[in-house]
Amino acid sequence: MTSASPASASPASDAAAALLAGLIGNGVRDLVLSPGSRSQALALAAMELSRAGLLRVHVRVDERVAGFTALGLARETGLPVPVVCTSGTAAGNLLPATMEAFHAGIPLLLLTADRPPELRGVGANQATVQPGLFGAFVRMATDAAVPPAAPAAGWTALARTAVAAALGIAGDGVPGVAGPVHLNLPVREPLSAVNRVEVRPGAAPTSPAFEPVVLERGPRTVVIAGADAGPDAEELSHLGGWPLIAEIVSGARFGRLIVHGYRDLLRDDALGGRVERAIVFGHPTLSREVAALLARRDVDVIAVRGGGEELNFNGRTAAVAAVAVENGPSDRQWLGAWMNASAGRIIDLSAPAPDQDGLSSEDKAARLSAVRAELDAVRRKADREILADAVWRATWPHDRLVFGSSRLVRVADQVLGGKKVPVHANRGLAGIDGTVATAIGIALASQADGAVGVTRVLLGDLAFLHDVGALLLPAGEQRPRIQVIVGNDGGGTIFDGLEVAASATAADLDRAFYTPQAVDLRELAAAYGWEFAQVATRSALDQALTSPVSGPQLIEVPLER
């Protein structure tokens, strides 16, 4: 138990201290803070708890960046992470991260300071309609009573309720499914004072175990792992003896039963056409072929709940909390057909082995040919496939890999093999916003308490520029080991593969969709104090990705349009 400082003369400070004490007592360990006047009591209490080693506080001047940083921390830890801001537009900037958290099932706590009721709707400065601001995107929303009308202990109780709702244990959400919670916190002046707070760290509440739905073995089944599926999908595939269709963002692309080239095989009538049942983990978003399978009326789809909406493309999908497999033999013929077809679609992007015989040959022509081949391999320009492969090869289980919603994630999904790597991506809504901030939150959480590893982020130039404000890291805070790897083709070439590429004029496509840019990323990195490297070849890329990382790095890889 830790206490701090003499008595308070501010009900706002008493309530703020009680709220944060309640959050820490229910497992909260990280908090993201944006500066502001109306939220000063929460900020000062957080600073005191940070000095006492009871709370890791991360300060961000941009509330949108703060929201996604909190999202990344919560993604990695699985624990609720509060994000604190002042009133007015500050609160509105949390909406994008809130929407993603809702759809992805991430426990986020939105602590928005507010004017008291008498200052709402009368033209007071920085006062807007904050109660209900996040609408259907939160599991629980409370406009708290103004201290001291409500004792500080009431805010402590509010903390317990909020944590339980964010974890899907209480509130109006789906049992067992996490999500964001909004606590609107109106306070009157004096807004802060030196306060005293007693804190007893505790564990987060746990959900009761759900009775799994036991799956019979009979139907011809595939397991589909979308974003945030995690290793549960691979485990069910292994237990059932069923082929595993795992998106690269699933965190489940490993094991003996993964299907390579799954898009082609789903279009094959002898394989995809004969599927009778699909068991879905996470949120599949990367291929039309998976979406088409899940929309078929003749396929029984069972989706394990994970986000804010039920997956139900075919109008008859069963949403369940947990699944298990009945005892008995697997369908070896069905699995074998998929594995045989998959084996022929493995893509190997590694450079050919050196021609040792040629390099040591006494024949001058043979030796020169072998040398030229080696030089060509060293000088080979990086393309999207090589870039994705190099990042995948450099990343290991103690690292973290984050994909942006760019063209590169689709390339990676098509060419990369199996590897047990922790993967994250904001595919709840598949937006490009907040990718860098989310990845920094993931890095900070995964590297806490001296843990090893590097977080790598693979994204396109527009997704990077959309979140460039996340590069601003406060002095005195932990600088994460992170490599932000930007595949820079000068604009939004993801639209090449979409309908608009065939319907728009070249001028309209270029200006309204490709949005070409010529930003000097080296100068940008220097402005924010990040290390920078521009690499164009596979060998230089491999060297950049495997060199020791001590802090934030920006790696630019120029790509052909």
CA dist 19 and 183 (Å) reads: 10
Residue 374: count other Cβ atoms within 10 Å of its Cβ.
Answer: 16
Q: DSSP secondary structure string, 78-130? A: -S-EEEEE-STHHHHTTHHHHHHHHHHT--EEEEEEE--GGGSSS--TT----
Backbone angles phi, psi at 251, to 5 degrees: 70, 15
Q: Cα dist. 178→73, 172, 286, 483 in Å?
A: 14, 11, 23, 29
At residue 6 the predicted structure's pLDDT band, cuts being 50, 70 and 90, is: very low
Domain 382-558: give its CATH superfamily. Thiamin diphosphate (ThDP)-binding fold, Pyr/PP domains (3.40.50.970)
Residue 555 DSSP class = E
pLDDT in the model for residue 195: 64
Kindly report, residue by residue over 11-66, the tens digit of the pLDDT. 999 999 999 999 999 999 999 999 999 999 999 999 999 999 999 999 999 999 99
Six-digit token string for 465: 């520029």
In the CATH hierarchy, which fold is given to the domain comprising 213-343?
Rossmann fold (3.40.50)
Residue 143: count other Cβ atoms within 10 Å of its Cβ.
Answer: 16
Could you tell me the pTM of the whole model?
0.93
CA dist 506 and 514 (Å) reads: 10
Stretch 89-117: mean pLDDT, rounded? 96
pLDDT beyond 90 at 301? yes
pLDDT beyond 70 at 209? yes
CA dist 486 and 320 (Å) reads: 38
pLDDT in the model for residue 206: 87
pLDDT in the model for residue 420: 96
Residue 53 DSSP class = T
Q: Please name the residue that has the structure tokens 């590169």.
A: 408
Q: Do domains 213-343 and 382-558 have the same CATH topology?
A: yes
pLDDT in the model for residue 113: 96
In the chain, count H helices and then E strands: 20, 19
Q: Decide which of 405 and 153 is more confident.
A: 405
Q: Flag the least confident range among 87-101, 129-143, 280-294, 359-373.
A: 359-373
Stretch 346-362: mean pLDDT, rounded? 78
Stretch 65-69: mean pLDDT, rounded? 98
* CB-count burial class (<10 Å; 0-12, 13-18, 19+) for 256: exposed
Six-digit token string for 125: 């400065």
pLDDT beyond 50 at 364? yes
Name the percent of the chain lying above pLDDT 70: 95
Kindly report, residue by residue over 315-330, the tens digit of the pLDDT. 999 999 999 999 999 9
CA dist 184 and 1 (Å) reads: 28
Mean confidence (pLDDT) of the chain: 92
pLDDT beyond 50 at 2? no
Torsion angle in degrees (nearest 10) through CA of 154, 157, 162, 165 = -130
Q: What would be the CATH architecture of the domain defined by 11-186?
A: 3-Layer(aba) Sandwich (3.40)
Q: Are 220 and 275 in contact (CB under 8 A)?
A: yes
Residue 366 DSSP class = H
Q: Flag the least confident range among 105-109, 199-203, 260-264.
A: 199-203
Domain boundaries defined on the chain = 11-186, 213-343, 350-379, 382-558
Kindly report, residue by residue over 406-445, the tens digit of the pLDDT. 999 999 999 999 999 999 999 999 999 999 999 999 999 9
Q: Decide which of 161 and 148 is more confident.
A: 161
Stretch 185-191: mean pLDDT, rounded? 93
pLDDT beyond 80 at 453? yes
Stretch 286-312: mean pLDDT, rounded? 94
Q: Flag the least confident range among 8-12, 390-394, 438-442, 553-557.
A: 8-12
Residue 365: count other Cβ atoms within 10 Å of its Cβ.
Answer: 9
pLDDT in the model for residue 510: 81
pLDDT beyond 70 at 374? no
Q: Flag the least confident range among 95-104, 417-426, 503-512.
A: 503-512
Q: Are 134 and 95 in contact (CB under 8 A)?
A: yes
CA dihedral (451, 420, 288, 320) positive or negative: negative
Stretch 126-151: mean pLDDT, rounded? 89
Kindly report, residue by residue over 269-286, the tens digit of the pLDDT. 999 999 999 999 999 999
pLDDT beyond 50 at 167? yes
pLDDT beyond 80 at 237? yes
Q: Are 307 and 280 in contact (CB under 8 A)?
A: no
CA dist 222 and 272 (Å) reads: 9
pLDDT beyond 60 at 314? yes
Name the percent of the chain lying above pLDDT 90: 77
